[in-house]
Structure 1
Amino acid sequence: MKDILQDIIANKHIEVERQKQAVSLRTLLGLGGERIERPTRSMRASLAASPSGIIAEFKRKSPSKGWLHPGAAVADVLPAYEKGGAAACSVLTDPDFFGGSLGDLCKTRRLVDLPLLRKDFIIDEYQLYQARVMGADAVLLIAACLSAEQCLTFAELAHTLDMEVLLEIHSEEELDHLNGYVDMLGVNNRNLGTFHTEVENSFRLAEAMQTVIREKGLSPLLVSESGISVTATVAKLRKAGFRGFLIGETFMKTDKPGDTLAQFIGGLS
């Protein structure tokens, strides 16, 4: 079976090297100096305080489903997400597989006051500096892409840059990536190798996650990612201990994602 994640990571290495050659880290920090001084917003606190806990995602396409909303504009969708009641927003910045860009993140930061997650495949410290300069409040670190040591290094750097960390796992074995710099611990219900989605994955892992969290004396907020399409699932996930719910395709495949989000939140009990 084709491993989509391997293709994405191979492409990501090429993409990041090109970006570093075009704009050195020194140049990036020089151009973005004022932006790095800008205070960030806590995504973890926003999710914990929110009655919905929804992280609304801006995603034009996916490797498995193709284009969801090719003409989607940040200016149309993201303010509507904020108005609709999202607790935070996730912005895909991968161009080749998800139709996103760092420009989308930068534009979003100018338009909304919600905490913003840079959603991408982070494999290099350079991307963390990019995220901060472009307006991210939090970054996604994917256990399947990183060693536990890399995860620790990147998470610590993210905190140094005043960004929070959402660590994403898909299996119990990946819980060894959890460290004290992780603010939110997410389960991806989508297998990144096959892109098959199964929400049951969150329920399967909930107890193991809470056990490891207790053993390590940590307190990350739990997030369920992908495959959530009905409000009843959110209610069940809350009972299992989750407080954040990352939802993208359910909203983005409709003509007006913000309105769909508002209707979804209206249906939460």
Structure 2
Amino acid sequence: MNILDEIVLQTRQDLERRKEETSQRDLLKRLEGPLEAPRFKAALAVPGRIHLVAEIKKSSPSCGVIRPDFDPLAIASAYAQAGVSALSILTEEKYFGGRLAYLDEVRRAVSLPVLRKDFIVDEYQIYESKAHGADAVLLIASLLDRPALRRFARLASDCSLDVLLEIHDEAEVEMVAEAPQALIGINTRNLKDFSTDFGVLTRLAGRLPKDRLVICESGVKDKGDLALIKEAGVSGVLVGTSLMRAKDPGALAAVFVSFLKSSAVVGD
């Protein structure tokens, strides 16, 4: 069993517990009436720049605890002041130190659109995401077959949620047609062994339809990595671990935002 299998198994176990605590019927009651329009895709569609999606997470399977002094509200506020376009919030508990409550808390504290980053394997999680204030959900192609991806993407749209569809290899490129409105996230990290390869970005970006918004996910450590991403012609980049490791995440986010806005290359 690889690490992704372990995470999915844990996710299903945690999901059963949450279903006992809050029924799907109760979640649906919270979604009655007009739903607020999602803002994640619109934020990343603004032309003229490469957008930074800044991530909030305490730990990861590959790094362990990344930020011992973890304060999601302070981090979110610092990111907002840095000028990032959107936030990504980990809600998986065991491996990433996340909590669903972080979605509610951050959404109340800042005005930025929020992506719920988790391992979505059940329709319940989509209702749950909207009920806790998310603007978008992550759907990971390797966890879903085509019918499930199509069904989850449609349900997300019905719940007024944007979708970030994550792919990592050529076979998964073929699945993007099942979610025609989704943003595409090319993950440079292999979720089976957590190794990273920026070659994945250049290989897959050229095979995607030109009308799709594409985001690079994972592995960004510095401006050199951002320069490679600029050359790939994507709309945005999601950065987590390097920001969480920084003494001042907001200050580093501001440096990244400025670099992505500029036409500079490394060494200028």
Give the superposition deviation at 1:149.
1.1
- Aligned residue for 1:43? 40
Tell me if the contact between 1:152 and 1:177 (Cα under 8 Å) persists in the aligned partners: no
Cα RMSD (Å) of the superposition?
1.7
Q: Which one has a larger percent helix, Structure 1 or Structure 2?
A: 1
Structural mapping, 1:1-269, within 5 Å: 3-30=2-29, 32-33=30-31, 37-49=34-46, 51-178=49-176, 179-209=178-208, 213=209, 219-268=211-260, 269=262
Superposed CA deviations along residues 26-62 of structure 1, whole A, max 9, x for unmatched, are: 12233x247x744134222211216340100001100
Give the superposition deviation at 1:78.
0.3
Superposed CA deviations along residues 213-246 of structure 1, whole A, max 9, x for unmatched, are: 26xxxx3201100011222433332332211100
Superposed CA deviations along residues 184-239 of structure 1, whole A, max 9, x for unmatched, are: 01111110000111222111211122xxx26xxxx320110001122243333233
Letter in 1 for 2:245: K
Tell me, what secondary structure is at the counterpart of 2:238? strand
Q: Percent sequence identity over matched residues?
A: 38
Q: Could you state the TM-score of these two structures normalised by the residue count of structure 1?
A: 0.91
Tell me if the contact between 2:149 and 2:179 (Cα under 8 Å) persists in the aligned partners: no
Superposed CA deviations along residues 38-90 of structure 1, whole A, max 9, x for unmatched, are: 41342222112163401000011000110001331122100111110111100
Give the superposition deviation at 1:144.
1.0
In 2: Cα distance, 1:204 partner to 1:81 partner: 30
Q: Could you state the TM-score of these two structures normalised by the residue count of structure 2?
A: 0.91
Letter in 1 for 2:242: T
In 2: Cα distance, 1:89 partner to 1:267 partner: 18
In 2: Cα distance, 1:154 partner to 1:25 partner: 15
In 2: Cα distance, 1:264 partner to 1:143 partner: 28
In 2: Cα distance, 1:93 partner to 1:66 partner: 16
Tell me if the contact between 1:125 and 1:154 (Cα under 8 Å) persists in the aligned partners: yes
Select between 154-163 and 72-81 the one with higher mean Cα deviation: 72-81
In 2: Cα distance, 1:9 partner to 1:180 partner: 22
Tell me, what secondary structure is at the counterpart of 2:95? helix
Task: List runs of 5+ in structure 1 lacking aligned partners.
Answer: none
In 2: Cα distance, 1:33 partner to 1:144 partner: 29
In 1: Cα distance, 2:12 partner to 2:181 partner: 24
Tell me, what secondary structure is at the counterpart of 1:5? helix
Tell me if the contact between 1:166 and 1:182 (Cα under 8 Å) persists in the aligned partners: no
Superposed CA deviations along residues 74-120 of structure 1, whole A, max 9, x for unmatched, are: 22100111110111100000000100010011101101111110000
Tell me if the contact between 2:173 and 2:204 (Cα under 8 Å) persists in the aligned partners: no
Select between 20-29 and 160-169 the one with higher mean Cα deviation: 20-29
Tell me, what secondary structure is at the counterpart of 2:8? helix
Count of matched residue pairs: 259
In 2: Cα distance, 1:169 partner to 1:19 partner: 28
Give the superposition deviation at 1:146.
0.8
Tell me, what secondary structure is at the counterpart of 2:134? coil
